[in-house]
Amino acid sequence: MLRKRCAGPLLLVLLTVTGCQLTQSAFSRTVGNAGAVFSAASTTLSYAHEGKITSAYAQASFVNYQSELDGLDQQLPSQQGAPDKRTVQHLLDLYRPAMQAVIQPCLEESCHWQAQVAALNRASQAFLMAGG
């Protein structure tokens, strides 16, 4: 009997979440996804330096991140639902250094990997915020 009472609210939540996803603009979906990828890249880089994952695993992950993010700078300005040029330019200014970290992640101990993590985190936060 308890299940029947819980199913109604759960169904309502699922429909609400699905409805929100269907009404998101292409821009919002794109920047939201990019923000999540930048966040994953930051975590991967940190985990590699903390010894939580191997360098080989991290490197393979960055190949996937690069594939997800490559060309975003070209797509973003023309996406349906894109905000004003100033906002897009701000995102692109954060995209470039973060993308450099994705393309050439610092996986050795002798490099300044913390700067890459910071760039990835800045991009992640801005992209997620822009995505709503």
pLDDT band of residue 97 (cuts 50, 70, 90) is: very high
Q: Model-level pTM greater than 0.85?
A: no
For residue 22, what pLDDT is reported? Answer: 58
103 compared with 111, residue with greater pLDDT: 103
Q: To the nearest whole percent, how much of the chain has pLDDT over 90?
A: 77
Mean pLDDT of 67-90: 95
* Contact between residue 72 and residue 98 where contact means Cβ atoms under 8 Å apart: no
- For the chain, how many structural domains are there in total? 1
Q: How many helices, marked H, and strands, marked E, lie in the chain?
A: 6, 0
Instruction: Give residue 89's domain range.
Output: 2-131
Does 11 have pLDDT greater than 80? Answer: no
